[in-house]
Amino acid sequence: MSLVVYMASILLALAAVLLRRPRRTPRSPLSNATRATAFIAATCFFWSAPVTLAAVNHATGIPNVGAPLTYSSISALSCSLIILLIHWRGGPEERIRRMTRMTVAVYGTLIVAIVLLFSLADAHTERLTDLDTYYANTPYMREMISLYLVGHLASTVVLSAVCLKWARDEVTGLLRVGLRLILAGLLLDALGFTLAKVTAVVARWLGYDLDVLSTTVAPPAAALGALIYSTGFVLPRLASAAAAERQSLATYRALTPLWSAVKDVVTAPPVAEPTWWQPWWQMPSSRLYLLEANIHDALLQLTAHFDQRVGHAAYAAAVERGERQEQARFASEREMIIDGIRRASGKGDGPADPPEKFRVTIGLVELAHAVNRLREAAPAQARIQ
């Protein structure tokens, strides 16, 4: 059973890593909540594995101390799922903060109660797989087990109700797929884990033995259910992140001609040029960030080769063509930068007349397209380096 649980933990931890925020992306409460939920779920399954429970009990010298640790992590997961759904639905920030604080307060109190009840209980016989049913009639342990099951069931009911209500709205695409996965995972969790555990515990209260539901049915159902509903939460986020990375890769490729044109005519080395081993593991957004930093640094070094007379002439020509002021300014920058690259490579005519102040406002992609068109149109011996 530990292998199944560890596999679920690894997959959820991998999802948390894949959902990392790109370096230049502003912090998002939804992204943070999604990653936190995946991480807490991974931690929850890690602590619940019998091998981990035995190691924790042995390391602390306290029999069954892994139980409140596992039950607390399950409660924390229930709390994080509700908070994630709160952020996923959105709404006024004050309402989101108020509901988040309320959820944390409820489940925080539940976790404190679980720890307190365990400390009061008499549970000196170590049970790694059937603790719920073995101690179902033990004072304080009985209440602790009931509390964590009720807390988990409550979160499942709340999440299911909200998702069902939301699914009736006009939801399409990956969001609809995500909702269906969440509902499927919650249903499996409710029937395969919570109901199985509750049935086994209640059977013990009534003098029957249905421990197989708790020890054999519940753990794999919980792992599979968590993977399914976590996929439902994560899928839309991963899809949007993948789209952003694809755009970053396209922009990176579009900027390559510009970088090829400027990297050999500047005197200082790149600020952070990727080494040979980085491209295969770096995300496109990180590689794009470094490339843009290198290009901006190179353009700053080329300022001494810019000729403002070329810029003025390009601006006047653009205005005469009827272009707007902003477009005329971009044309001025573009021609001045291209002329500066020529001069830096020894192909310019006469001394440059650099402007006193210069700031790049034109888009780098537009500039790269202009450089690429020039390189393709010019004879091979006159191409920009």
pLDDT tens string, the chain, 385 residues long: the values are 566 667 767 777 776 676 665 555 556 676 777 778 878 888 888 888 888 889 999 999 999 999 999 999 989 988 988 888 888 777 788 988 999 999 999 999 999 999 999 999 998 999 988 999 999 999 999 999 999 999 988 888 888 887 777 767 656 677 778 888 888 888 898 889 999 999 999 999 999 999 999 989 988 888 888 778 777 877 777 777 778 888 888 888 888 888 888 877 665 555 555 444 455 556 788 788 888 888 888 888 888 778 778 778 888 888 888 888 788 888 888 888 888 887 777 776 666 677 777 777 778 888 888 777 766 555 444 444 4
Cα gap 115→107, rounded to integer Å: 12
Token pair for residue 78?
A: 């229930």
CATH assignment of 2-246, among 2.60.40, 1.20.1070, 1.10.3470, 1.10.8: 1.20.1070
Containing 103, the helix (H) or strand (E) segment is helix 93-120
Could you tell me if 358 and 303 are in contact, meaning their C-beta atoms sit under 8 angstroms apart?
Answer: yes
Domain with CATH 1.20.1070 in the chain: 2-246
CA distances from 152 to 59, 115, 128, 220 (A): 28, 16, 20, 16
Report CA dihedral (233, 236, 238, 244) to the nearest 10 degrees: -150
Cα gap 67→80, rounded to integer Å: 20
Could you tell me if 12 and 45 are in contact, meaning their C-beta atoms sit under 8 angstroms apart?
Answer: yes
Could you tell me if 132 and 155 are in contact, meaning their C-beta atoms sit under 8 angstroms apart?
Answer: no
Could you tell me if 121 and 142 are in contact, meaning their C-beta atoms sit under 8 angstroms apart?
Answer: no
pTM of the model: 0.65
> Tell me, what DSSP letter sits at residue 21?
P
* Per-residue pLDDT, 276: 40
Other C-beta atoms closer than 10 Å to the C-beta of 197 total 25
Cα gap 279→82, rounded to integer Å: 38
Cα gap 159→354, rounded to integer Å: 63
Other C-beta atoms closer than 10 Å to the C-beta of 358 total 18
